[in-house]
Structure 1
Amino acid sequence: MGDERGWTPAQMLSVFAVAATAGGIWLLVRQWTWGEWLAWAAPLVFALVASCVVASGSVLHALYADSLDVTPDDLDVPAIWQAASAVKLLGLLSFALFVPALWGIAKHVHAPFVSPVERLGVPMYVATQMAVVVVCGLWALDSAGDAVKDLRTAAVRRAELPSYFGVEPEWTCVEPTVPAAKLSTRGGVLSPERPYVSFGEAGGTVVLWDEPAGKALQTPAEQVRLVPAADGSVRCTFSYATLPKGD
């Protein structure tokens, strides 16, 4: 909204859709009979409840994590960003209200096709709901997939890493605090001489992305020390010889 170049066609279309949806739903509700309340209100309430349940699970973060072969808990995403991703998903699901809104406008202006189509109201609404859920699922897959693709592209180029709804990957040198023989890793062998893409610590575990190997690497947080790196091209200076002899 603060762009001095003005609104894009997509933004103007979105404003029209929001205004038409709000106005159409109001026109539809004020014309309802008791029978229509039962026929339409139940699907509307169900759609709202189902949308909230789906979005509350942070679907976008789950898809993002799954593409990296980790779990959402491994990413330790702040609650505010989980809520932001839920709002994003609910925004798309809300387009399920657009069809009944247009129907409300058509009934208000007494469009000639209203009477023959009115008998198909509920089946049409159910079909629309299913279509919107499918489109929303495809969009969510594309959103998370594109984010992971951008992350891996940046990792290959050893460049700045992109964030995604509160997920903040960083280039990090991982320095073991125990001898190599005692270092516990899952998903591969840690190479302290090069930086990794780190997602930080979550639940006592450090989650790393090893781009050359194309998989995630996890190690107990108590066995390593994380040192921020400027980018992926630096060489980490750690040596096991620097560890105290008693370790």
Structure 2
Amino acid sequence: MITPSSSPGPDRQSPSPQPDPGPAGPAGLPFNRRVHVVTAVLDRPEELDLLQQICEAMGWPLREPLAGETAVTVDAGWRLRVIEVRIRGVRETAVEQAVSTLDTLAQNAELSLSCRDAALVERVHQPQIEWHLRGRRRTVGRRIRHALHTAARTGDHDPHAGTVRLVRVPAELDEPRPRRLARTRRAARAELAHHSLPLRRLDPEIHEVGGPSVSRGWHALAFVALVFTATVICLLGAGLWPAIGADSPRIGAPLIVLTGGYLLGGALLAVRRTPTHRALPWLVPLAVPLAVPLVPWLGALVQRAYLSPFGVRPTPASDGLGNVQAGLWVLCVFVASALLPVAYLGWMRFLAPSLRVRGPWLSWAPAMTLGIGMGMVFDLLILHTAANSGAENRALAAAGRDIPDYFGVSAEYACVEPTSREAPYYGTPPSHGSPVVIFGQSGDRVEYWDPAAGRKTSIRLEDARIRVVPHSDSACAEADR
């Protein structure tokens, strides 16, 4: 512990350094950057007192420079003070932002203060290896009794079960790993052998020294659940649920429950105790109204991809329940894909508490970014699946077979006869001997796909007589009677 020097006398105005309340301490605002600023303040009691009040209001530590800390000198009548400015900002501009913030506060308070030197505080990371002192593994019966006593709070549980103490030993990364592990293990055993608590001292007959306890079984289960959920989402995006029988409620319902439980549970575990967790009660109700106009638009994209092999466009009559189902298909796959990495991160952090502070890559924001990218890829897979379904149904129509409905897109078969030889049309000439495929009309025109020619044609309703027939193999001659 470093004890600040104190000099008696009335000229000392700044208090001794106080303990850091933490990034979210009650005395100041949340921060993620710290900047040490060497300032020169006018050596008058009221100026020093005003500076102290400003720093206390902002939650910034204020002290005198330590011996040999700075080479900055000031004129007579001025004093040096070191302020730790705590702000929220990016690393590249944190120093400029801190100095600008301090200058603004001094100007608003008419404080005679000038910043002389500023430097960003870098976190000093010392490599360490963690060793745990835990009780030796007991028989299955002993472990079951211990679990029962612990759950019943009888006080008769095994006091040496699990990790009872851990130490972290500084490590040198430039030495070989086996030597580093052996050296730190000896140092850890030496520290664990001497302790004031009798039950927490190393006893070779009771305790063993090892690395952090990792539940490999639970971690393997979380990874298997990740692969299972990703497979379910992929099958859903590729439209292969009927191929595995998941369109049946007896199979599809358990899959949805397991997938939803894994995604929602893991996502909540990942964002808990974060600002996002506190914002969820109003973020979710805000997202639901936004999805109302989004679902039909996504459904129209699926229908358009399905009709692209036919060369026609969706008609307003295709809006309905099928359009909503297609939009929900796209939206559910996107949300599930976006939550998949976040859910896996949440389960891993829950199963391994030591992973919570091991780096920014374990935060949920990068995982959400990865998930959004995966969601876009899976949505492109859905559109590709819809286009493939359209190509397959086009082949059915060319073979003279009926086309099934596809998310609100219903095919009709009709015989088209122009009212005159001069009737204008776009595409191939209208067929006279076989029915064409119509997916609805748009305004005063109708677009249809001719299986015989393999191309689409567009014609005005007033320039053609259209007679609907029940099947694609119906004869147009009989329909004309």
Structure 1 length as normaliser, TM-score? 0.76
The whole-number CA distance in structure 2 between the counterparts of 1:108 and 1:2 is 33
Please name the residue that 2:432 is paired with.
192
Q: Is the contact between residue 198 and residue 207 of structure 1 (CA under 8 Å) also seen in structure 2?
A: yes
1:82 equivalent to 2:323? Answer yes
* C-alpha distance 239-166 of structure 1, shift in aligned 2 (>3 A): closer
1:208 equivalent to 2:208? Answer no
1:7 equivalent to 2:258? Answer no
1:90, distance to aligned residue in structure 2 (A): 0.5
Q: Give the secondary-structure state (helix, strand or coil) at the position aligned to 1:237.
A: helix
**TM-superposition CA deviations, 1:101-156 (whole Å, max 9, x none):** 232333334444333254443233212211221122122212x2222122212212
Q: Which of 120, 129, 137 is the equivalent residue of 2:380? A: 137
**TM-superposition CA deviations, 1:187-234 (whole Å, max 9, x none):** 111123321111132212111101232221111122223222232333
Q: Is the contact between residue 17 and residue 98 of structure 1 (CA under 8 Å) also seen in structure 2?
A: no
- Paired amino acid for 1:107: R
Report matched runs for 1:63-82 at 5 Å.
63-73=305-315, 76-82=317-323
1:123 equivalent to 2:363? Answer no
- Paired amino acid for 2:379: C
- Paired amino acid for 2:325: A
The whole-number CA distance in structure 2 between the counterparts of 1:17 and 1:200 is 38
User: Of the two, which has the highest radius of gyration?
Assistant: 2
Q: Which of 358, 374, 399 is the equivalent residue of 1:157? A: 399
* C-alpha distance 114-218 of structure 1, shift in aligned 2 (>3 A): same
Please name the residue that 2:262 is paired with.
20
Which protein is richer in strand relative to its size?
Answer: 2
Q: Which of 314, 318, 335 is the equivalent residue of 1:94? A: 335
1:22, distance to aligned residue in structure 2 (A): 2.0
Q: Is the contact between residue 158 and residue 233 of structure 1 (CA under 8 Å) also seen in structure 2?
A: yes
The whole-number CA distance in structure 2 between the counterparts of 1:90 and 1:175 is 42
Q: Is the contact between residue 174 and residue 192 of structure 1 (CA under 8 Å) also seen in structure 2?
A: yes
Please name the residue that 1:245 is paired with.
none
Which protein is richer in helix relative to its size?
Answer: 1
Q: Is the contact between residue 52 and residue 90 of structure 1 (CA under 8 Å) also seen in structure 2?
A: no
1:50, distance to aligned residue in structure 2 (A): 9.3
Q: Is the contact between residue 309 and residue 394 of structure 2 (CA under 8 Å) also seen in structure 1?
A: no
1:174, distance to aligned residue in structure 2 (A): 1.7
Q: Is the contact between residue 309 and residue 391 of structure 2 (CA under 8 Å) also seen in structure 1?
A: no
1:93, distance to aligned residue in structure 2 (A): 0.4
- Paired amino acid for 1:127: L
Runs (5+) with no aligned partner, structure 2: 1-245
Q: Give the secondary-structure state (helix, strand or coil) at the position aligned to 2:333.
A: helix
The whole-number CA distance in structure 2 between the counterparts of 1:93 and 1:51 is 15
TM-align CA RMSD: 3.5
Q: Is the contact between residue 89 and residue 136 of structure 1 (CA under 8 Å) also seen in structure 2?
A: yes
- Identity %, equivalent residues: 21
Q: Give the secondary-structure state (helix, strand or coil) at the position aligned to 1:226.
A: strand
* C-alpha distance 203-109 of structure 1, shift in aligned 2 (>3 A): same
How many residue pairs get matched? 228
The whole-number CA distance in structure 2 between the counterparts of 1:152 and 1:174 is 19
Q: Quick check: 108-117 or 165-174, which moved more?
A: 108-117
Please name the residue that 1:179 is paired with.
420
**TM-superposition CA deviations, 1:164-188 (whole Å, max 9, x none):** 1111112211233x2222x221111
* C-alpha distance 208-65 of structure 1, shift in aligned 2 (>3 A): same
1:55, distance to aligned residue in structure 2 (A): 6.4
Q: Give the secondary-structure state (helix, strand or coil) at the position aligned to 2:426.
A: coil
Q: Is the contact between residue 341 and residue 370 of structure 2 (CA under 8 Å) also seen in structure 1?
A: no
Q: Which of 347, 350, 369 is the equivalent residue of 1:105? A: 347
* C-alpha distance 50-117 of structure 1, shift in aligned 2 (>3 A): farther
Task: Compare relative contact order (CA 8 Å, sep 6+) and give the higher one, 1 or 2.
Answer: 1
Q: Give the secondary-structure state (helix, strand or coil) at the position aligned to 2:459.
A: strand
The whole-number CA distance in structure 2 between the counterparts of 1:120 and 1:114 is 7
* C-alpha distance 51-130 of structure 1, shift in aligned 2 (>3 A): farther
Runs (5+) with no aligned partner, structure 1: 243-247
Q: Is the contact between residue 411 and residue 439 of structure 2 (CA under 8 Å) also seen in structure 1?
A: yes
Q: Quick check: 201-210 or 121-130, which moved more?
A: 121-130
The whole-number CA distance in structure 2 between the counterparts of 1:35 and 1:156 is 54
Structure 2 length as normaliser, TM-score? 0.42
1:99, distance to aligned residue in structure 2 (A): 2.1
- Paired amino acid for 2:411: P
